[in-house]
Structure 1
Amino acid sequence: MRAFYGLVLPIVFVAILVRTDASAEINSGANVIEEIVVTARKKEESLQDVPLAVSAFQGDELASAGYSELSQIGKLTPGLYYETFDRTKPQLFIRGIGSRQYDAGSDPSVGVYLDGAYLGRFGALDLNLTDIERVEVLKGPQGTLYGRNTVGGVVSVVTRDAPDTLSGSIAVETGSSAVSGDDFWSIDAAIGGPIADNGSTAGLIFSHRKRDGYQPYQGFSAAGGSEDALAIRGKLYFPITDELNLRLTADYSDFDGPPLVFIANSHLDDGTIQPISGSQLI
């Protein structure tokens, strides 16, 4: 028995030393994962501490990856289906729960929020993501915190507060499709800064995207695949007390594109699509 303990003690001692060195290397900051702060439960907390199924995306990461519209979040989020074949009637589903009713009196089954304000109509759901702080996708019923029309879940967009010092940014993109040959261009600009000595700030973003399109329609000025999208957003921040702040956000968007043709079409000799009337189908 004495020989047994004499062999075990050195081995345990070496293992403790190795473990201590590894911990020191991690604590030195060599492999540190950046903390993601979300407001999924109406308060700021670490994403790892939230007892919900939440997918969060930082605005800077979305911009660097080329994501400019909220509908593109569906490509990054498991369980989220976000289709905008008609920009005024997007299809938004989380885990198979959503709504296909588009009339004026219908409500979606997935709630979309902009800085905590509920967007209740389908035409306002495809938001521009220029200069945002983050996007949070909450999966599953969220009626306890967010109220009605959230049986499928919630998509929350949090815009960025203006900085304490005057600053701005501008990004311009232009090109031509190698497949269809149509031209496109876009411009995204943001500016913000302080407006008072008490810490109040104001910010403004402007985004304009245009694409010529690649498929002409007979009788329509807009070509298939064309796009002319304009978005403007302003935000004011007022610190009232140490624990009370006021944020005001105004968002405007306008989109022009080709009409949807749900009836059969015939191709003319020049490649133009000509809608066929109902009498021609008989």
Structure 2
Amino acid sequence: MNPYRFALASFCVLPTALPVSAQQEAATGAFTLDPIYLDVQFRQETEQEVPISVTSVQSDELKARGADRLDKVLPLVPNANFATVRGGIEASSVALRGISTTAYGADPSVAFYMDGVYVGADSAFDGEMPDLTAVNVMQGPQGTLSGHNAIGGAVQMRTADPEFGVNSTKLTFGVAEHGERSGEIVGNAALGERAALRYVLKRTYSDGWLVNEAGGDNLDSKDTLTGRIKLKAQVTDTWTSLLSYDHSKDKGRRYGFGPLDEVADTRRADSDQPLDETVENEGLSWTNTWDLEAGRLESITAWRHSDSEMHPGAHSTVSPILRYSSRDYEQLSQELRLTGQTDRLDWTVGLFAMKSSDKRGEGIALRDDYDYDYGGTTYTIPAGYGERSRAKIESETLAAYFDGAWALTDRIGILGGLRVSHDKKSIDYNHADTAGNGYSLLALTQDLDLSTSGTFVSPRIGMTWDVTPEMTAYGMITAGYKPAGFVSSFAETSDLEYDRETA
């Protein structure tokens, strides 16, 4: 039996196995699992109490499968899919219930959280995250609590926090096919009775499984280095502070260098100038929690940065086009929330603010003369011709939300929530040929400065019914949204804006 269970869609019946005493188990011969506790609603609840279609993959399952990155976790989740955008490691797309974003440069449709911090760069979705404790995948619109870009759902990835009073070090080594080797160290150090430090460092390397007939290293190789350090302190009896920094560097290569059947059968390809990519991600967060008479106050202040580069390269030797791209993404975010409860009411109020800057560049260059057919006439484009797009997208988001669960009776509950979000986005865009001829063939030559803004209200309302102590049914109506944005690469029109999406 798998050590994780999943909740079904809205209007579902959710049975949960509750623990029994050793005497009961000996008497009945029954085997039961301990309940799994989740904080997807910012409060500790069992899976049975969470009225959301959620799959929680816990630490034991993650370790057993060696799943420390999203592309290894999502295959365990129903109605979930993971794909790389354009085949490389520079951007990833997560699909939940068939809702996703595959357009390069557009915002994601599934919200991604790393240790409680919203991550806006899709180049960070598939990085290694060693020392994982849980991955929670919430399906369907999550417009109230996890409201930004969550029309398909939300993914929460949690890593282990420092443990007070514990001194430990763990070394792990691994080997796999295609010459893959990995090494990982996880340590926990007690700093007195009220503070602790936790650190993790992992290196993974592989030779690649595609022999390059053009010479050089194999293709689809792997070279990653990931590190994280956390410092946790019990400052007072009611104040806990957690400081975290992570950094990762991922260097990979594409492997679609020829007809798929030939590549799969021979494990050989021909590329004299492969598409080499490098992606770096780093983040710093400071989480403070205060236990007050009114409830628990939590503040999460975070900065994240993502830098990626695809060096000039071609899909195959016969391709006359060299492609290249770069991205420099940076965000600052702040979230404040107060969570409390009475005999019959559990409630959360919060504020969320984020500002980001996304600088993108993409271009092509011809390494050979190219015959271009237009209107029945053949034109020869000389080697060295190129085009490139450059864009700087700046975004601001401000949201306020409330969510609560009220026990109408001992067995029937009413749920409700509301999130009001205001988003503002602007783009400074330029497309031109690299030789300065004043014309381009693949996209319009233009220089634009555009902006858009909007406000959206995301409600949630529903009911729960405890059919038995071990079974809960719920019904939920909820909405989510993704704000309007801009196309940022090789635009064929001067109208770069795409509309807001809702679900």
Settle same-fold status: TM greater than 0.5: yes
Indicate if the aligned counterparts of 1:223 and 1:258 stay in contact, CA closer than 8 A: no
Q: Please state whether the residue corresponding to 2:24 is helix, strand or coil.
A: helix
Counterpart in the other structure of 1:91: 93
Counterpart in the other structure of 1:3: none
Structure 1 residues 33 and 272: CA distance shift in structure 2, 3 A: closer
Distance 1:272 1:158 in 2: 39
State the shift of 1:96 in Å: 0.8
- Residue 147 (1) aligns with residue 143 (2): no
Counterpart in the other structure of 2:210: 215
Counterpart in the other structure of 2:183: 187
CA RMSD between the two structures: 3.0
Counterpart in the other structure of 1:157: 157
Which amino acid in 1 is paired with 2:232? Answer: Y
Which amino acid in 1 is paired with 2:199? Answer: L
Structure 1 residues 262 and 215: CA distance shift in structure 2, 3 A: closer
Q: Which among 259, 270, 275 is matched to residue 273 of structure 1?
A: 270
Q: TM-score w.r.t. structure 1 length?
A: 0.79
Distance 1:201 1:70 in 2: 28
Structure 1 residues 25 and 264: CA distance shift in structure 2, 3 A: closer
Q: Counterparts in 2 of 1:19-58, with a 5 A limit? A: 25-26=24-25, 31-58=31-58
Counterpart in the other structure of 1:171: 172
Counterpart in the other structure of 2:77: 77
More helix by share: 1
- Residue 114 (1) aligns with residue 117 (2): no
Identity among equivalent pairs (%): 26
State the shift of 1:263 in Å: 7.9
Distance 1:263 1:56 in 2: 39
Q: Please state whether the residue corresponding to 1:130 is helix, strand or coil.
A: coil
Counterpart in the other structure of 2:220: 225
State the shift of 1:147 in Å: 2.3
State the shift of 1:168 in Å: 1.8
Which amino acid in 2 is paired with 1:62? Answer: L
Structure 1 residues 24 and 66: CA distance shift in structure 2, 3 A: same
Q: Which among 242, 248, 257 is matched to residue 252 of structure 2?
A: 257
Structure 1 residues 147 and 271: CA distance shift in structure 2, 3 A: closer
Indicate if the aligned counterparts of 1:115 and 1:159 stay in contact, CA closer than 8 A: yes
Q: Deviations over 1:236-263 (max 9, x none)?
A: 2122344432222222111111146688
Distance 2:115 2:100 in 1: 22
Q: TM-score w.r.t. structure 2 length?
A: 0.46
Indicate if the aligned counterparts of 2:211 and 2:269 stay in contact, CA closer than 8 A: yes
Indicate if the aligned counterparts of 1:59 and 1:129 stay in contact, CA closer than 8 A: no
Distance 2:240 2:214 in 1: 53
Distance 2:224 2:185 in 1: 14
Distance 2:239 2:44 in 1: 14
State the shift of 1:133 in Å: 1.6
State the shift of 1:193 in Å: 2.3
Ranges in structure 1 where 5+ consecutive residues have no aligned partner: 1-22
Indicate if the aligned counterparts of 1:114 and 1:156 stay in contact, CA closer than 8 A: yes
Counterpart in the other structure of 2:103: 101
State the shift of 1:281 in Å: 8.4
Which amino acid in 2 is paired with 1:157? Answer: M
Counterpart in the other structure of 1:7: none
Indicate if the aligned counterparts of 1:80 and 1:92 stay in contact, CA closer than 8 A: yes
Q: Please state whether the residue corresponding to 1:144 is helix, strand or coil.
A: coil
State the shift of 1:151 in Å: 1.0
State the shift of 1:205 in Å: 0.6
Structure 1 residues 27 and 138: CA distance shift in structure 2, 3 A: farther
Structure 1 residues 26 and 272: CA distance shift in structure 2, 3 A: closer
Distance 2:127 2:236 in 1: 31
Distance 1:280 1:261 in 2: 23
Which amino acid in 2 is paired with 1:186? Answer: S
State the shift of 1:148 in Å: 1.4
Aligned pair count?
251
Structure 1 residues 193 and 226: CA distance shift in structure 2, 3 A: same
Which amino acid in 2 is paired with 1:120? Answer: G
Indicate if the aligned counterparts of 2:189 and 2:197 stay in contact, CA closer than 8 A: yes
State the shift of 1:61 in Å: 2.1
Distance 2:210 2:153 in 1: 37
Q: Deviations over 1:163-205 (max 9, x none)?
A: 2211121110125x3xxxx3121112100122233x2211111
Indicate if the aligned counterparts of 2:220 and 2:254 stay in contact, CA closer than 8 A: no
Distance 1:214 1:53 in 2: 38
Deviates more, 1:242-251 or 1:185-194: 242-251
State the shift of 1:116 in Å: 0.7
Structure 1 residues 184 and 144: CA distance shift in structure 2, 3 A: same
Q: Please state whether the residue corresponding to 1:146 is helix, strand or coil.
A: coil
- Residue 205 (1) aligns with residue 200 (2): yes
Ranges in structure 2 where 5+ consecutive residues have no aligned partner: 1-21, 272-315, 321-367, 372-503
Deviates more, 1:58-67 or 1:43-52: 58-67
